[in-house]
Amino acid sequence: MALTRSERAPLVTDAIPPHLRRRGITQRQLFMACAIAAAMPALLASHDTPAWTEHLGDSRFVHRLRDTIAAWDEEMERSGLSRPHEMLREAMARLLNLQWSDENR
């Protein structure tokens, strides 16, 4: 039997309004979109992936994974794909280092 909301139950506003729910995608398309989204940081932010493997342990599989990721990172650096990521990071560091006056330096 379907459950229904009684008249006395509190009315709650859906966070996503109805007109944004009318168009969308299927679960399969969602999986594809997630896979594409996950692949982009692997291309552009490859410098961060070697550090991520540090908490995975010390098994033979992990060692092999580390080697693969390190080789991948070198390849991305050689191709220049990871450069925009580094430039953004440097720009942010410069912004964070701005001071109101030289006395604070």
Partner 1 sequence: MLFPTLDFLLFFLVVAGALALLDRNFAAKKAMLVAASYFFYAQWDWRFCFLLAASTAISFTAGVLIGGNRDPRVRRLILTIGVTLHLLILGIFKYLDFLILSANQLAHLLGLQHELPFIEILLPVGISFFTFHGISYITDVYRGDVAVCRAPLDMALYMSFFPQLVAGPIVRAAYFLPQLARPSSEPIPVAAALLLILGGMVKKVIIANYLATGLVDPVFAAPETYGGPDLLLATYGYAVQIYCDFSAYTDIAIALAALCGFRFPRNFNQPYRAQRLREFWQRWHISLSTWLRDYLYKPLGGNRNGRFNTYRNLMITMLLGGIWHGAAWKFVMWGALHGGGLAFERMAEPVIGRRPTSLQGKVVSWLIVFHFVCLAWIFFRAEDFTVAGVFIAGLGSGWSEPIQQAQPAMVALIVIGIAGQFLPPGSYERAGLLLQRVPYWGLGVAAGLALAAINALGPEGIAPFIYFRF
Question: Among 10-18, 57-65, 66-74, which window interacts with partner 1 (CB under 8 A)?
Answer: 10-18
Contact yes or no for 55/35 (Cβ under 8 A): no
- CA 5 from chain centre, in angstroms, equals 37
Question: Among 25-33, 58-66, 67-75, which window interacts with partner 1 (CB under 8 A)?
Answer: 25-33
Q: What is the CA radius of gyration of the chain?
A: 23
Task: Pick the closer one to partner 1 by CB: 55 or 78.
Answer: 55
Contact yes or no for 46/76 (Cβ under 8 A): yes
Residues that bind partner 1 (CB under 8 A): 1-6, 8-10, 12-17, 19-41, 43-45, 48-49, 52, 84-86, 88-89, 92, 95-96, 98-101, 103-104
